[in-house]
């Protein structure tokens, strides 16, 4: 009777728990998918905001207004087109805009384009965004035509001698590469659709199929929200969220526990009736070793009692199974689900590696893993700083910032996984250029790298918290080693380890200086308050280094460098700065002012000062990287592609994953 009662009670408990778990799981998955959709939408909004700023700068160019003023009201459409086509195609003052936006148009009314440089834009519906730009000064919208998605940005331009302003229209395509840069996690997919048809998408194969309407697994949640006249859609792989929401105590576990308890009660009832002479004794023969139950101690540092497996063999946690590693892993070891391949570098607190993560059906993706050094495993301040860095970096979604996809604890070591980008930081590129006899960074390449870095800084400096208040982000470590130029010509800012922000758990101790002395603003070296202008000063020092191949501050010791950094450029430094190729003297004379109030007030203002000068294109930047370090990068890519972990794993015991991931992908 007791056993039957236990079975009945466990069945009821399992049903109640199943209902609760199902509700909790659905809420967790829906919330996670919605949050990822919001991040993607915010990234696209940031792109639109950046384009509006670029359009504002373009509309303020005096040569543009002068060109529009030369057009007479009675000029024929052919004459207007010839004048504008020549200006937009060949004038040097339009070169920076021409490189960034493939199509330019002008509207002299508020409903249609009167001129456009490319016929592909002829069929676009731009009346609303043109009218909004004419009325509000600037506007942007995502539009589509013929299966191509465009980001259209409009800017009102005052034309001398004319009562009505013109409207400048700048167009860029939003392709798969643009969406790839803002994927919430490597396993997700992002798409833009119109009338139920997916126009462009990027991401993992299975979620991409879900975007197209194919039945998706329960772990993949497809969510949508309007994107102007289009629809933004995200297929979020919520496998990790699903497992976490279900928890360890599952309905099946409750039912199994009830069954086991019932069996135990039944066996005990039989034992109570067994004759005394039949009780087992110490003289009973031992159970043969071949028939003994196997067991694994799931605790930390557990040992194995599996037949044929040495007790000292290490256990490897992976997924929801506890695995036994029968051979040593390839590369430099395994951290979480990442196989470390090469060590990229080592700082005071962390080590950085290239790594590969493997999945089913041959899936693999490359990452950069940053791991807190073992000696800091029990250092609360170091751990708090590392956690802060991971949380902050994961919230920064911008095409010029390397994103953090994963954060967790493997053994005693905290780690974060970042996007792997094939390229080299500016410090190593300049070093290679000087060593090869090619000299420092060419000026157009330098201006391109600086302008792209300023986009990242402008985004970070303007970041707001959930309450809408500015976070007051200051990178505080803008240096050549933290700006990467990729083999595709992209510029990426990274390493937000010592960023200043409101709400950080870890705080810099009073009197403690953090950062690179060779690229530090005076107020930072003096342990005074820093703001966005401190990062701009550091970028000025980076530009000087890239133009000369050496740091501005020279000293025999850290103390001497600190004194230099605390005062900024002096009478000995300025003549060399002013002798640099144009336009660097004019730019650095403002950027490197010791007094923050005399510098550029913002990253946008700094970028505006750089805009009129010829920049290298992303294609030229890619070619430059290829020519300097192409062979090195090819070897690196080959090692990552060919390296497959030779962990031969045998599933030995179903167990919950012990890794303490925090928002892992």
CA distance 551 to 543: 10
Measured N-to-C along each axis, helices 62-70 and 77-90 cross at an angle, to the nearest 10 degrees, of 160
List all residues 6 or more positions away from 622 whose beta carbon is below 8 Å from its beta carbon: 486, 487, 488, 489
Kindly list the distances between the CA atom of residue 579 and the CA atoms of 549, 568, 609, in Å, as whole numbers in the listed order. Answer: 15, 18, 19
CA distance 167 to 189: 36
Please say whether the beta carbons of 364 and 637 come within 8 A. Answer: no
Please say whether the beta carbons of 150 and 142 come within 8 A. Answer: yes
H-state helical runs in 555-617: 558-567, 574-578, 584-591, 603-610
Would you put residue 468 in left (φ > 0), alpha (ψ -120 to 50) or beta? left
Which residues in 189-209 are b (16+ Cβ under 10 Å) and which e? Answer: bbbbbbeeebbbbbbbebbbb
Tokens of residue 109, six digits = 């009314």
Tokens of residue 540, six digits = 């000025």
Please say whether the beta carbons of 323 and 317 come within 8 A. Answer: yes
CA distance 561 to 225: 52
113: preceding bond cis by omega (within 30 degrees) = no
CA distance 458 to 74: 43
CA distance 504 to 494: 18
* DSSP code, position 184: S
Helix (H, G, I), strand (E, B) or coil at 594: coil
CA distance 152 to 143: 7
Helix (H) or strand (E) holding 483: strand 483-486
Chain-centre distance for alpha carbon 147: 27
Please say whether the beta carbons of 37 and 236 come within 8 A. Answer: yes
The residues facing 45 across adjacent strands are: none
Residues labelled catalytic: 477
């Amino acid at each position: 009777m007791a056993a039957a009662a236990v079975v009945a009670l466990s069945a009821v408990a399992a049903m109640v728990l199943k209902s609760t778990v199902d509700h909790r799981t659905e809420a967790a998955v829906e919330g996670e998918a919605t949050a990822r959709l919001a991040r993607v939408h915010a990234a696209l909004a940031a792109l639109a905001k950046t384009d509006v700023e670029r359009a504002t700068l373009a509309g303020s160019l005096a040569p543009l207004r002068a060109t529009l003023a030369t057009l007479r009201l009675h000029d024929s459409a052919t004459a207007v087109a010839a004048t504008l086509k020549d200006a937009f195609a060949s004038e040097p003052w339009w070169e920076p805009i021409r490189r960034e936006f493939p199509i330019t148009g002008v509207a002299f009314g508020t409903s249609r384009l009167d001129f456009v440089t490319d016929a592909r834009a002829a069929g676009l519906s731009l009346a609303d965004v043109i009218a909004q730009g004419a009325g509000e000064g600037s506007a942007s919208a995502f539009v589509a035509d013929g299966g191509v998605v465009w980001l259209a940005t409009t800017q009102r331009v005052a034309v001398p001698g004319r009562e009505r302003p013109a409207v400048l229209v700048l167009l860029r395509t939003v392709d798969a590469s643009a969406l790839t840069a803002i994927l919430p996690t490597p396993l997700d997919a992002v798409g833009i659709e119109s009338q139920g048809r997916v126009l462009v998408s990027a991401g993992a194969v299975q979620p991409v199929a879900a975007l197209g309407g194919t039945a998706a697994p329960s772990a993949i949640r497809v969510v949508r929200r309007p994107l102007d006249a289009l629809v933004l859609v995200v297929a979020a792989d919520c496998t990790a969220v699903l497992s976490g929401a279900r928890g360890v105590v599952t309905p099946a576990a409750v039912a199994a526990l009830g069954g086991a308890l019932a069996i135990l009660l039944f066996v005990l009832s039989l034992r109570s009736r067994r004759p005394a002479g039949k009780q087992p004794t110490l003289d009973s023969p031992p159970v043969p070793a071949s028939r003994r139950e196997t067991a694994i101690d799931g605790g930390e540092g557990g040992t194995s009692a599996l037949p044929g497996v040495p007790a000292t063999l290490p256990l490897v946690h992976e997924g929801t199974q506890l695995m036994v590693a029968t051979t040593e892993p390839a590369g430099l070891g395994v951290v979480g689900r990442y196989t470390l391949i090469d060590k990229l570098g080592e700082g005071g607190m962390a080590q950085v590696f290239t790594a590969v993560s493997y999945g089913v059906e041959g899936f693999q993706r490359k990452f950069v893993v940053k791991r807190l050094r073992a000696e800091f495993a029990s250092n609360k301040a170091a751990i708090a700083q590392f956690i802060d860095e991971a949380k902050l970096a994961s919230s920064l979604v911008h095409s010029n910032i390397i994103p953090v996809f994963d954060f967790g604890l493997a053994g005693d070591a905290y780690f974060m996984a970042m996007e792997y980008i094939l390229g080299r930081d500016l410090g190593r590129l300049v070093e290679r250029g000087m060593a090869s006899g090619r000299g420092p960074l060419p000026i157009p390449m330098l201006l391109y790298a600086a302008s792209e870095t300023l986009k990242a800084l402008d985004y970070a400096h303007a970041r707001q918290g959930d309450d809408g208040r500015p976070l007051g982000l200051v990178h505080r470590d803008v240096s050549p080693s933290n700006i990467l130029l990729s083999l595709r010509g992209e510029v990426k800012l990274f390493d937000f380890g010592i960023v200043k922000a409101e709400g950080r758990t870890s705080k810099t101790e009073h009197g403690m200086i953090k950062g690179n002395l060779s690229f530090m603003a005076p107020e930072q070296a003096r342990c005074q308050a820093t703001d966005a202008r401190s990062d701009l000063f550091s970028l000025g020092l980076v530009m000087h280094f890239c133009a000369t191949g050496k740091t501005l501050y020279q000293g025999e010791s850290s103390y001497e460098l600190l004194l230099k950094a605390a005062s900024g450029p002096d009478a000995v430094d300025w003549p060399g700065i002013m002798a640099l190729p144009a336009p660097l003297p004019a730019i650095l004379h403002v950027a490197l002012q010791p007094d923050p109030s005399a510098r550029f007030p913002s990253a946008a203002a700094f970028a505006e000062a750089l805009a009129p000068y010829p920049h290298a294109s992303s294609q030229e930047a890619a070619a430059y990287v290829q020519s300097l370090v192409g062979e090195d990068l090819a070897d690196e890519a080959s090692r990552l592609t060919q390296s497959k972990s030779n962990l031969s794993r045998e599933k030995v015991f179903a167990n919950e994953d012990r890794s303490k991931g925090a928002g892992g992908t």
